[in-house]
Amino acid sequence: MQVLKMGRSIGVWSVAVAIAAGLAVSGVSPGIAEDSTSTGNRVFFRGGYAGLNSDRAGELFVDGHNAAGQNGGSGGYYVGAGTDLMLSRDLWGMMKSVGIVGEIGVEFKRFNSRTVANSDTTGVTGVSNGGVAMVQLTMLTVDVAPKVKFMQGGDLQPWIIPFGLDFHVISPPSNQTTVLDIGVQFGAGAEYRIWKELWLGVDGRYHLASNQTNSVNNFGTVGAYAGIGF
C-alpha cells in the first residue's frame, strides 16, 4: 500500500512540475522558428524500465502457489510505439504555443521470468501432470490519451499527459482466469528536435489500473523514445 501511495505521489509531482515548466516558458518564445512540417504529427518508438507496484508471486498460473519457488520479481522493461496526432497548436485559440495532440499507443512489458511450478506442474492441481517451466510475467497495454505540448514551434517541447485511458492484457492469467483490465495513466516528458523532423525524448508515466482481474496491475515506466514528424 505504501508503494502504491509513493507511485501516485511521483506521478502527481511529475505532472505538476511539467505544467509549471511548460507554462513558464510557453509565453517567452517569440523568436522560435516554425516546425519544418505543418502538421505537428509524430510516430514514435519507446523503451525503458517498467516496474509493477506489487509482484504476482503466489498465484496459481505464475508459480503454482510457490510450489517450487517464487516468481516474485516486479521490475523489467517495456517497448512500445504509437502516434501523436495534432489537434490544436494554440489550445483552440486560448493559449499561444500550447498544443494539444491525441496519442494512440501500444506497449509491451516483461516484468519477470523464472523456472518455477505452474498450473500444469504435478501436485499443483488434481489433474496436473507436467514439470516446472519458464514462466514469463508480461503485460500488453493499448492507450488513448490527450497530450499537452508546450513551446510549439521550438526545438525543445516539454509535455504532459493529464490523464489517459488504458486497456491492459495480463499474462499469465489471474487466479480467476481473467486477463483484461482497464485504467488511467498520467505522464510527463520532453522531446528535442535533433535534425529536421527527427526527435529524441524522455518520458515517465504512472498507470493506475482498476484491477478487474483480482490482481494488482498498477505500474510505472521511465525511458526514452525517438519520434519522426510527418
Q: How far apart are alpha carbons 89 and 106 in whole angstroms? A: 24
pLDDT at 125: 87
CATH architecture of 2-29+39-229: Beta Barrel (2.40)
| Sign of the alpha-carbon torsion through 163, 224, 229, 80 | negative
Q: What digits encode the pLDDT tens for the residues 13-55?
A: 444 444 444 444 444 333 344 444 568 899 999 999 999 999 9
* Mean pLDDT value across residues 52-60: 92
Q: Could you give the CA distance from residue 225 to residue 230 in angstroms, rounded to a whole number? A: 16
- Over the stretch 109-143, which tens digit does the pLDDT of each residue have? 999 889 998 888 988 888 888 899 999 999 999 99
* Alpha-helix residue ranges (DSSP H) falling in 113-219: none
The pLDDT assigned to 37 comes to 54
Name the average pLDDT for the chain: 86
What pLDDT shows up at residue 19?
A: 45
Please state, in angstroms and rounded to a whole number, the distance separating the CA atoms of residues 185 and 214: 19
Q: Which residue has the higher pLDDT, 107 or 64?
A: 107
Contact 203, 223 (CB under 8 A): yes
Q: Give Cα 73 distance to the centre of its chain.
A: 18
At CA 42, angle to CA 39 and CA 47, rounded to 5? 170
